[in-house]
Structure 1
Amino acid sequence: MARHRLPRLLLLPVTLTILILLFLSSSPPPPPPQPPIPCGAAPSDATAGRWVPTPSPPPPPLYIQSCPFHRNAWNCLRNGRPPVAALSWAPSRCGGAVVPRLDPAAFLAAARGRRIGLVGDSLSENLVVALLCALRSGDGGARKWKRRGAWRGGYFPREDVVVAYHRAVLLAKYTWQPVENSKPQSDGIKGTYRVDVDIPADDWANITKFYDVLIFNTGHWWGPDKFPKETPLVFYRGGKPIEPPLGIFDGLKVVLRSMGSYIEREVPSKTLKLWRTQSPRHFDGGEWDHNGSCVSDRLLEENELDSWFDPRFGGVNKEARLVNSAIWEALVGTDIQLLNLTYMSEFRADAHPAIWLGKKDAVAVWGQDCMHWCLPGVPDTWVDILAVRILHYFKQGKG
């Protein structure tokens, strides 16, 4: 019996080797290695870094004050404001390198046939104007595009690319409900704005499958300056008033959760979904209607940021971090990625239109603009970061 068993034992290693080779040959090939994350594309690149002088010699601007996509109130050079300092953002992760400036022609080529949409308030418009003006230098045939309910947009025919902004300041649908004249109101209420927390605004409800990239925001309208006690927000769900009634900040939280769920449900999974965090304001000395000013050429220091923006100190610029806390809470567990531009922008008290608004008596009526940004200016760096992030997403084969 031993003489017969020995050859069989000798065959075992050979058999095992053959089986292993057969298994390996039938296994699927390993996935291709992911491209390295370029400077500016990592989510942390905008939240850890510093502003540095743009490397010399500075490149010529991608656009000038005659850009046809420009908005007069942000066209600071045309309106006589001294130029904003030429600075670049150097993320801590990048070892001293700065976020590369957008190459308009290369970006359009990489985005060929795709559509990029922004949905939100006027700070999203501030960003889209910078993006449109920059991309126009890569396609002289660019023309305005305002289809599908877009408030502002551009079409770039060379590569068949659409970039557009849809104005939806609360994201949720809201409608004015005046008080009936036959019912005198002792509390001074002139009417209410009904906010349906579970219904998206008409401005973007039907474009969720049109765009390949969608960037959302809301926040700047969620305050008593937009909705004072005489014309408050009243929140509805399922067609009925929410009881007990919600205050404005609690209403914001509910809307953020509802709209986040709607986006996850209605926007295709292959679409790059980003949520831009709040853009900080820089009112010094008071609110916009109480002589708040931002006529400055000085960046804030790191050790000044909390005193300006931390809600614990109750300053007039606490809005950004307060709203961001609600955004982070609402988006946990979703596939919506944060585009966190708040921290890098907090330093830039030097870059707002301030008194250079392009209209006579604008400051007397509206106060200084310490919320929006001059163009060219800080939103150009936002564009650089957004472009790197979009291109990295495309290179991964996801979009």
Structure 2
Amino acid sequence: MAHEVVVLDALTEPWASDLAAMDVMVISAGHWFPHSAVYYDDGEIVGVHGRPDMNRTEMSAPSVYRKVLRRTLEHVINAAMADKLELVVVETIAPAHFDGRYSWNHRDACSRQRPYDGDVDGEAKVGDTEAELRKAVLEEVAAAAAAARRRRPGLRFEVLDVTRLAAMRPDAHPGVYIYKNAYGGGPVPETAASDCLHWCAPGPVDTFNDILMQMIAGG
């Protein structure tokens, strides 16, 4: 059974070594954390997610995400090499919109062509996991901002909260339009990779960037 390997007490070296060059940092993560995973800390397995066969402590994806985010933000505050850094923005998760009536690779699994109109029948309801991931961002960024005011005056921490906005836009994924035939109304096989996770269509991503630019300019 495949799984992710997450090392909780180590940062990716290329990312960490670039801190000295950053004026603005944008952190966007979340979708990979609900995957099956094995978690290491100090060289030892401390838990798993979605691997009951390993007989290890089960850890929830939001709790691990919170731990990773907290350690990352603490590192940023404490890193002497990050003296140029003025703003850290953490984006909340933008939910996927796969239609639960179909498997993910069915051509109709991502076929919405219009935004949701309000919250009719709970269509745009944010899932429990996504809500917990968002909550982790809100709380950990608030804690980091308080710590920065004491130890790194001038360093701002902000949340780019896109979860609710993104939940309303099931039409903004590529869907089956990653197939060239789909643009012309041509045939798409019933079993086809249907991308209802990434945000490649115009609309939400432009709004995300507009909000981010306002955060940068408003400093």
Query: Fold conserved (TM > 0.5)?
Result: yes
Larger radius of gyration: 1
Partners of 1:198 and 1:373 in 2: CA distance: 30
CA deviations on 1:167-199 (whole Å, 9 max, x unpaired) are xxxxxxxxxxxxxxxxxxxxxx56x64422121
| Separation of aligned partners in 2, 1:246 and 1:260 | 25
Whether the 8 Å contact between 1:357 and 1:363 is mirrored in structure 2 is no
Q: Which runs of 5+ in 1 are unaligned?
A: 1-188, 228-232, 312-317, 394-399
From the two aligned structures, give the one with the greater helix fraction: 2
Structure 1 residue 376, shift from structure 2 partner: 3.1
**Cα distance between partner residues in 2 of 1:293 and 1:333:** 39
CA distance in 2, matches of 1:234, 1:210: 32
1:357 to 2:183 alignment: no
Cα distance between partner residues in 2 of 1:307 and 1:373: 19
Decide whether the 8 Å contact of 2:101 with 2:109 is kept in 1. yes
SS of equivalent residue, structure 2 residue 69:
helix
Specify the code of the residue in structure 2 equivalent to 1:389.
M
Q: How many residues align?
A: 190
Matched, 1:223 2:34: yes
Q: What is the distance in 1 between the residues matched to 2:174 and 2:168?
A: 16
Distance in 2 between residues matched to 1:286 and 1:308, nearest whole Å: 16
The equivalent position to 1:201 in structure 2, one of 6, 9, 12, is 12
Q: Distance in 2 between matches of 1:320 and 1:364?
A: 27
Q: Does 1:346 align with 2:162?
A: no
Residues of 1 paired with 2:22 and 2:89: CA distance?
12
Q: TM-score, normalised by structure 2?
A: 0.72
In structure 2, the partner of 1:254 is 67
> Could you tell me which amino acid in structure 1 is paired with residue 93 of structure 2?
Q
Q: CA deviation at 1:286?
A: 3.9
8 A contact 1:234–1:241 mirrored in 2: yes
Counterpart of 2:163 in structure 1: which amino acid? Answer: T
Q: Aligned ranges for residues 3-22 of structure 1 at < 5 Å?
A: none
Alignment pair present for 1:382 and 2:214: no
- The percentage of aligned residue pairs carrying the same residue is 25
The amino acid of 2:175's aligned partner reads A
Match in the other structure for 2:112: 296
Amino acid at match of 2:196: C
Contact 1:234 1:245 in 2 (8 A): no
Is the aligned partner of 1:236 residue 2:44? no
Mapped to 1, the partners of 2:142 and 2:205 lie a distance apart of 26
The question of whether the paired residues in 2 share the 8 Å contact of 1:305 and 1:347 is answered with: no
Q: Distance in 2 between matches of 1:392 and 1:310?
A: 29
* Alpha-carbon distance in structure 2 between the residues aligned to 1:299 and 1:331: 30
Q: Deviation string for 1:11-51 (max 9, x for gaps)? A: xxxxxxxxxxxxxxxxxxxxxxxxxxxxxxxxxxxxxxxxx
Q: Secondary structure at the match of 2:21?
A: coil
Do the aligned partners of residues 332 and 246 (structure 1) sit closer, same or farther apart at CA in structure 2, a change above 3 Å counting?
Answer: farther
**1:245 and 2:66 equivalent?**
no
TM-score by length of structure 1 reads 0.42
Provide the alpha-carbon RMSD of the alignment.
Answer: 2.9
Please tell me whether the aligned partners of residues 280 and 371 of structure 1 are also in contact (alpha carbons under 8 angstroms): yes
User: Which residue in 2 is equivalent to 1:114?
Assistant: none
Offset at 1:321? 2.0
Please state how far the C-alpha of 1:236 moved relative to its aligned partner.
2.1
Give the secondary structure class of the aligned counterpart of 2:8: strand
Aligned with 2:6: secondary structure?
strand
| Alignment partners' CA distance in 2, 1:271 and 1:392 | 12
Instruction: Tell me, in whole angstroms, the C-alpha distance in 2 between the residues paired with 1:288 and 1:205.
Output: 38
Q: Which residue of 1 aligns with 2:52?
A: none
